[in-house]
């Protein structure tokens, strides 16, 4: 699987390419995308420079258009996409069907990727996205490797991209989740709450489950492994390094149980989850 990493500055793009990322993606603060404005590029000039940097190194940069866009914003998004396309943009990552149709009509050189937020859960949806010009689909967090198998092995010529579950997997359906805004604080779902005389925290997959997910997607045929954008870039670097360790193990042809055992050991000793406990 090739690695796909989110960045928000030119310096981050340089760092991730130097570390060996296969592809980059990012947003522009003036164009709606699924992060706060400070987690996107602040100027179009810097974003263009990052696109050129990736292209110059033979790598792909994808531009995020993965939030609903209405009225006058459509024209702005299409203008920005056109400008980036002239710089060598690799793809636009799109959530809404109307935007997918409008970008297809522009006849950009850049490919069209369907965002995980579009919630492609079955072959019928996959087929429709292909008709609208998509060449890749990012699968939702909630699909297990077994559930995703028909999509991973699709005969439509569509590439598939999955999130790096080995670090973290959200159990909530992203576009419908409002837990991040209950108190205007990010990820209130990650807190521990007092309940019934004890503490309660939303469940998350344990390390062995995470490793089985990575193993399943790899052997199921997923072509791309995506790291989520993070506010703390040092965290993102650690996640990327951990993902590279696991993909190197997978290339060795380990059986599932051996991979899970070794992956769990790495998770508890060298991942960001391990060093944050020290």
pLDDT digits (tens, 9 = 90+) for 181-231: 544 456 677 778 888 888 887 778 899 999 999 999 999 999 999 998 888
140 shares a domain with 114: yes
- Domain of 193 in residue numbering reads as 171-204
* Domain count for the chain: 2
**Across-strand partners of 160?**
137
From the list 45, 51, 4, the residue with the least C-alpha distance to 23 is 4
- pTM score of the predicted model: 0.91
pLDDT digits (tens, 9 = 90+) for 75-126: 999 999 999 999 999 999 999 999 999 999 999 999 999 999 999 999 999 9
What is the reported pLDDT for 182?
46
185 shares a domain with 160: no
What is the reported pLDDT for 128?
96
Whether pLDDT at 253 is above 60 = yes
Query: Mean pLDDT of all residues in the chain?
Result: 91
Residue 31 · residue 47 · CB < 8 Å: no
199 shares a domain with 80: no
Q: Distance between CA atoms of 18 and 26, rounded to whole angstroms?
A: 17
């Amino acid at each position: 699987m090739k690695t796909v990493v989110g960045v928000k500055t030119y310096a981050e793009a340089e760092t991730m390419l130097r570390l060996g990322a296969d592809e980059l993606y990012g947003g522009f603060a003036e164009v709606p995308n699924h992060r706060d404005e400070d987690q996107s590029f602040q100027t179009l000039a810097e974003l263009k420079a990052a696109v050129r940097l990736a292209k110059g190194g033979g790598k792909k940069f994808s531009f995020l258009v993965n939030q609903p866009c209405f009225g006058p914003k459509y024209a702005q998004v299409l203008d920005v996409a056109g400008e980036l396309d002239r710089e060598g943009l690799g793809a636009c990552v799109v959530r809404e069907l109307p935007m997918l149709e409008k970008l297809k009509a522009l006849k950009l050189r850049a490919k069209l990727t369907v965002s995980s937020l579009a919630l492609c859960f079955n072959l019928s949806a996959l087929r429709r996205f292909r008709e609208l010009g998509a060449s890749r689909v990012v699968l939702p967090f909630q699909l297990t490797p077994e559930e995703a198998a028909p999509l991973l092995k699709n005969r439509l010529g569509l590439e598939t991209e999955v999130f790096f579950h080995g670090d973290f997997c959200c159990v909530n359906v992203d576009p419908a989740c409002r837990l991040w805004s209950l108190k205007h604080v990010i990820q209130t779902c990650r807190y521990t709450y007092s309940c019934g005389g004890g503490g309660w925290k939303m469940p998350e997959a344990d390390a062995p489950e995470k490793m089985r997910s990575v193993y399943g997607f790899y052997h199921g045929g997923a072509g791309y492994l995506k790291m989520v954008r993070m506010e703390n870039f040092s965290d993102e670097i650690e996640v990327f390094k951990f993902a590279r360790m696991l993909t190197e193990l997978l290339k060795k042809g380990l059986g599932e149980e051996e991979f899970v055992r070794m992956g769990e050991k790495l998770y508890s000793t060298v991942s960001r989850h391990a060093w944050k406990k020290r």
